[in-house]
Chain A
Amino acid sequence: MRKSVVFILVLAMMAAQSIAFAQKRPKTQKLTEEQRIVHVLNRLGFGARPGDVERVKAIGLENYINQQLNPEKIADSVAENKIRDLSVLNMTTAELYEKYPQPGQLLRQLQSRGMLPADLAEAREMRADAPKNNQPQPPAGNPLEDPKYREMIEKYYRENGLQRPARIIAELQASRILRAVYSERQLQEVMVDFWTNHFNIFANKGADRWLLPSYDRDTIRPFAMSKFSTLLEATAKSPAMLFYLDNFQSVSPNAGRANPLRPQRQRRGINENYARELMELHTLGVDGGYTQKDVQEVARCFTGWTIFQPRGGAAAANAMMGEAGRRNAGTFFFNARVHDDGEKTVLGHKIPAGGGMKDGLMVLDILTHHPSTAKFIATKLVRHFVADNPPPALVDRVAATFTKTDGDIRETLKTIFFSSEFNSTEAYRAKIKRPFELVISAIRTLGADTNGGPGTHRWIERMGEPLYGFQTPNGYSDAAESWVNTGGLLERMNFGLALASNRIPGVSVNLSKLSTDQSKVMDDYLKILLAGEISAGTREAMLKQLDKSDPVTKVVGLILGTPEFQRQ
């Protein structure tokens, strides 16, 4: 008897665990209209705000999806107002270099222009001399370890209207949070998140923190729903990517001696980093059929794709080019002098000698039209929008659309959104929210307000996925099993508690506004946060937890921490 009970339990569990983190659910049922709306609001956006379900119902789900596919036609004044004061968003890279300088670099520049204040110069000298005879050496190069020196620099920054560079990424992160919370163009924000992850850049690599605002504004955002080829070319030319994957300093070993700005300063050479990741992570996928030889040939094609004054306007450039040199710091340019102009062969295609910048464009064209790229992008999109284990039949159809439409992202997305797989009970609430998605959806569903500041971002970071904080170019995984873990789960519960009790700086939530009847508070909030869909087990446990003192805060905190709310 006991054995057979165990056996049945085990069988039931085997069925339930056939997909990692998938739940047992009846396969035959269809989603109700309301569930389909909730599903679309979760997957094409960051969750339903109070009233959203009714709004979508009124205009019709299909109309809503089509609207979302054309974000340029959606008015978005609320979100635009929210980000209005984030000044880095509207600044050129050159302006960012000037207004948000790195202290060490600023001092070197001031010194070379003969403009370094005497007291600062003296403090700097002392610091530079100190470690010479010491052993072991303290980590060199960080002037800010000395409190007095730091104080003087801070004074200089204040007096000259400068800000610390860390502020740039904080504002950029805030803009992403604010737009995800407030924008009516929800799918656009989801796609910005998707492509930012696909073409991942790590903010703490060298100059990238100054280059990222332009990357978001000029590279990812305008092309998030255009042709894949357009987006790919934009990333290939983006200073942020050129810097992150080192291509900005990849030059033909046979060239470069004639560069007047760098007379014999360095022996330089080819850098394969971008070429490899371009194929492995941006287009073909790691098993997409390229060889080490292809990597080397692609790297030759991209020699000379570089950044003008990658670390800001240096004195030499300013002297030579004056205001123009200053203005263009940190922008893309093709340096024909250091390009390898010989013939290349990439994935069997001959690229004739003398092509100059066309070589790289030809490579992008070859990669965009390679069947591996269609398959790779389709797989990633289906994994993002449908299920951690993408249904192969859907991937094939999505890849076919991608190929047929010359990589049209909208059309490719349409194939997903109107597929039976997307609209299935298996896909419904099957994906676990990534930290960014969890935080944004909690704020949205409660109708809370955020200023997007570090108080909000810190929670995303605590759960393990800070924006622009993933070091390696593969970006955060969209498959839960590679990142969901006990520590992260605990932080999710703690986040729910902090939000419900209004303890997150910069976020305010008014829980009494959504439920006025104390006796119905749990059911009201289950409806608001989970469309009333909760397992019997969770519901029973919740009921036992209700007590007299401040039930709303507790109920909401607990619901935000349920397994059900972790899913979308």
Chain B
Amino acid sequence: MNRRYFLKSGSIALASVGMSLSAPSFLNRIVLGNGVTGGKRKTLIAIFQRGAVDGLNMVVPFGESNYYSVRPAIAIPKPEPGNAESAINLDGFFGLHPSMNSFKQLWDSKRLAIVHAAGSPDNTRSHFDAQDYMESATPGVKSTSDGWLNRYLQSKEDPDRSLFRAVAIKKTMPRVLQGRAQALAMTSLAEFTIRGGKSSANLQNGFEAIYSRKNTDPLADMGRETFEAVNYLKQANPEQYKPENGAQYPRNAFGNSLLQIAQLIKAGVGLEVAFTDLDGWDTHVNQGNSRGQLANLLQQFSSGIAALYQDLGQRMDDVVILTMSEFGRTVRENGNRGTDHGHANAMFVMGNSVRGGKVYGRWPGLKDDQLNEGRDLALTTDFRDVFGEIATRHLGSKDTKSIFPGYSLNSSHFKGFLG
């Protein structure tokens, strides 16, 4: 963060020398002047399933007999016509959890790809470490100060200098977007303003003056960013928003987050990276099977994403949705009809440009001797190869070295879910 302020403040200093110093609110004009037309651009929507989703019940390897012998209480039954509680057949070996039927159509139209047995090569079973590694994309290295999506932003100049280039629909900035590149955290577009009743505009002027460049506190830099964003958003007029194509977002916090993202994309404010997350996947106890705790969460998760996909319609030509979770869960169910912290997991990649309808990644098997440390799904795809494929082939990054420090990204390891 320190370098971020240095660079940002540095660029402001340059601008102030180069431009007329008498312009009263020069800062906003410079930035807004360049940034109003975000235009058509590639966008990544990254969604984190925090708490480690049980990938083996989300994308069910029903073709593995061992799956049923080690999960007597929680296994999802094999696909069976007419049985709404059985897995949704994908390819004769894998199936979706039955509560995710809103993904079926995306799979059938080849817009949904799955990478199974993917994740972090680090063996940690700590949520915090594993989330940290997935967000920093430097497994095993805790000292990395920024997140990989922020490093992507750093690696590529944005000609439009959009203030909404990266947005987290979160109360606080997630690790993955922390860093010196511009990013915003907000929970709702409509509330992202000074709320002072009739005097709002007047009060905002006051704060803008206080947080002007005369103020040397690094917080003032952040204040200026804040007001640039507030003013920019007012122009986009998000309150007029209506979902299209009959999309119905689930009426909960997750659905609402996705709706905010759709608004930003449609407002053409230059959104390139959006992030949100859904908690509660840490199902140590009474995980449930076709119904229950995990089923409810998966239903929320999949119906929300399907609504977003539907709402964005043709815009999904330029959008990729990626889902991730810090690690998988134990292959065997535990003594509490739940699962404990495991290793590899499944990720979804969606979009009109995605070569979907396929489960990517080598399947390592579930026999006892095929498991990681005798208990978890083994890892065959490093998550950085998934991130890297999206960064290069979708977002068009050419500098993957700086995005994935310490990892030599090799396109021959890409799974090929993008062109």
Q: Which residue of B lies closest to A18 (CB)?
A: B2
CB <8 Å contact, A544 and B209: yes
User: In chain A between 1 and 46, which residues have their CB closer than 8 angstroms to a CB of chain B?
Assistant: 2, 5-6, 9-10, 13-14, 16-24
* Contact residues, B150-205 vs A (CB, 8 A): 171-173, 175, 178, 184-187, 192-197, 199, 202-203, 205
Q: Please, what's the 1-or-0 string for A487-506, where 1 marks a CB less than 8 Å from any CB in chain B?
A: 11110011001100100000
Pick the contact of A561: B184, B210, B212 (CB < 8 A): B210
- Nearest Cβ on chain B to A105's Cβ, whole angstroms: 14
- CB contacts (< 8 Å) of B105 on chain A: these are none
With a cutoff of 8 Å between Cβ atoms, the chain A residues found around residue B203 in the complex are 497, 554, 557-558
Contacts A464-B171, A486-B229, A487-B184 given; does A5 touch B291 at CB 8 Å: no
Task: Assess A246 versus B285: contact at CB under 8 Å? Given A485-B172, A563-B220.
Answer: yes
Measured between C-beta atoms, what is the minimum distance from A280 to chain B in Å? Answer: 6
The digit string for A463-476, where 1 denotes a CB below 8 A from any CB of B, is 11000000111100
**B5 in the interface, Cβ–Cβ < 8 Å?**
yes
Contact partner of A266 (CB less than 8 A), chosen from B3, B296, B336, is: B336
Contact of A554 among B2, B6, B206 (CB under 8 A): B206
Bits for A131-157, please: 1 = Cβ < 8 Å to B, else 0.
000011101110000000000000000
Interface status of B340 (Cβ within 8 A of chain A): yes
Report if B42 contacts A (CB, 8 A): no
Which residues from chain B contact A446 at a C-beta distance below 8 Å? none
Q: In residues 298-345 of chain B, which contact A (Cβ within 8 Å)? A: 299-300, 303, 334-337, 340-341
User: Contact flags (1/0) for B274-298 with A, using CB distance below 8 Å?
Assistant: 0000010000110000011001100
For residue B102, CB closer than 8 A to chain A, the reply is yes
Residue on B nearest A561 in the bound complex, by CB: B207
25 A-B contact pairs sorted by A residue (CB < 8 Å): A10-B13, A13-B5, A16-B218, A21-B218, A23-B216, A137-B299, A246-B284, A249-B335, A253-B335, A266-B335, A268-B335, A272-B340, A272-B341, A280-B128, A463-B171, A473-B128, A483-B172, A484-B222, A490-B194, A497-B194, A535-B217, A537-B212, A541-B210, A545-B206, A554-B206
With contact pairs A10-B13, A486-B229 given, residues A537 and B214 touching in the complex (Cβ less than 8 Å) = yes
Q: Are B126 and A280 in contact (CB under 8 A)?
A: yes
Residue among A271, A463, A501, A566 with the highest chain B CB neighbour number at 10 A: A271
Is B99 on the interface with A (CB-CB < 8 A)?
A: yes
Give bound CA distance, A269 to B70, whole Å: 14
- Say whether B207 contacts A558, CB under 8 Å: yes
A139-B296, A280-B126 given as contacts; is B214 within 8 A of A271 (CB)? no
- Docked-complex contact B223 and A563, CB < 8 angstroms: yes
User: What distance in Å separates the Cβ of B72 from its nearest Cβ neighbour in chain A?
Assistant: 9
Q: Which residues of chain B are near A272, meaning CB under 8 Å?
A: 125, 340-341
A540 within 8 A of B: yes
Answer whether residue B230 sits at the interface, using C-beta atoms and an 8 A cutoff: yes
Task: Establish whether residues B210 and A538, one from each chain, have CB atoms under 8 Å apart when the complex forms.
Answer: yes
Given the contacts A280-B126, A554-B206, A489 and B219 also touching, CB distance less than 8 Å: yes
Q: Please, how many angstroms separate the alpha-carbon atoms of A135 and B129 in the complex?
A: 38
Residues of B within 8 A of A160 (CB): none
Map CB proximity to B onto A234-257 as digits: 1 under 8 Å, 0 otherwise. Answer: 000000000000100101010000
Size class of the A contact interface (CB-based, 8 Å): 35 or more
Q: How far is the CB of B402 from chain A (nearest CB, A)?
A: 20
Q: Which residue of A lies closest to B217 (CB)?
A: A563
| A5 (CB) vs chain B CBs: closest residue | B17
Q: List chain A residues, Cβ under 8 A from B279.
A: 471
Q: How many Å lie between the Cα of A13 and that of B199 in the bound state? A: 35
**B128, A17: Cβ atoms closer than 8 Å:** no
Asked if B211 is at the interface of the complex by the 8 Å CB criterion, the answer is: yes
Using A489-B219, A541-B206 as known contacts, say yes or no to A20 and B226 having CB atoms under 8 A apart: no
Does A353 interact with chain B (Cβ within 8 Å)? no
**Identity of the chain B residue whose Cβ is nearest the Cβ of A463 in the assembled complex:** B171
A486: B residues at CB distance < 8 A: 184-186, 222, 225-226, 229
Asked whether, in the complex, the Cβ of A17 is within 8 Å of the Cβ of B5, the reply is yes
Q: Nearest A residue to B215 by beta-carbon distance?
A: A537
* Interface: A273 (CB within 8 A): yes
Q: A139-B299, A485-B172, A497-B195 are in contact. Are A21 and B219 (CB under 8 A)?
A: yes
Q: How far is the CA of A464 from the CA of B125 in the complex (A)?
A: 27
Enumerate chain B residues within 8 angstroms of A487, measured Cβ to Cβ: 171, 184-187, 192, 226
Which residues on B sit within 8 Å (CB–CB) of A140?
291-292, 296
* CB of B375, distance to nearest CB on chain A (Å): 11
User: Smallest distance from the beta carbon of A369 to chain B beta carbons, Å?
Assistant: 23
Q: A540 to B284: give the CA distance in the assembly, Å.
A: 57
Contact B217 A137 (CB under 8 A): no
Interface residues of B in 239-290 (CB under 8 A from A): 279, 284-285
* Pair B99/A14 contact, Cβ less than 8 Å: no
Min C-beta distance of A300 to chain B, whole Å: 14
Bound Cα distance from A554 to B210, whole angstroms:
13
Cβ-defined contact, A489 with B222, below 8 A: yes
In the complex, which residues of chain B have a beta carbon less than 8 angstroms from the beta carbon of A544?
209
B50, B202, B206, B300: residue with the most chain A Cβ atoms closer than 10 Å:
B206
Verify A23–B226 contact, CB threshold 8 A.
Answer: no
Q: Which residues of A contact B225 (CB under 8 A)?
A: 486
> Which residue on chain B has the smallest CB distance to residue A267?
B335
A24 shortest CB reach to chain B, Å: 6
CA distance A472 to B193 in the complex (A): 30
- CB-contact partner of A545 in B127, B178, B209, B220, under 8 A: B209
Specify which chain A residues have a CB less than 8 angstroms from the CB of B220 in the assembled complex.
Answer: 563
The smallest C-beta distance from A188 to any residue of chain B, in angstroms, reads: 28
Residues from chain B with Cβ under 8 Å of A249 in the complex: 285, 335-336
Report the Cα distance A531→B70, complex, angstroms: 66
Structural contact, B299 and A136, CB atoms closer than 8 A: yes
User: B405 an interface residue at 8 Å Cβ cutoff?
Assistant: no
Please state if B101 and A474 are interface contacts (CB–CB under 8 Å).
Answer: no
The answer to whether A276 has its CB under 8 Å from any CB of chain B is yes
Question: Do the beta carbons of B230 and A563 come within 8 Å of each other?
Answer: no
User: Which residues of chain B are within 8 angstroms of A292 by Cβ–Cβ distance?
Assistant: 123, 125
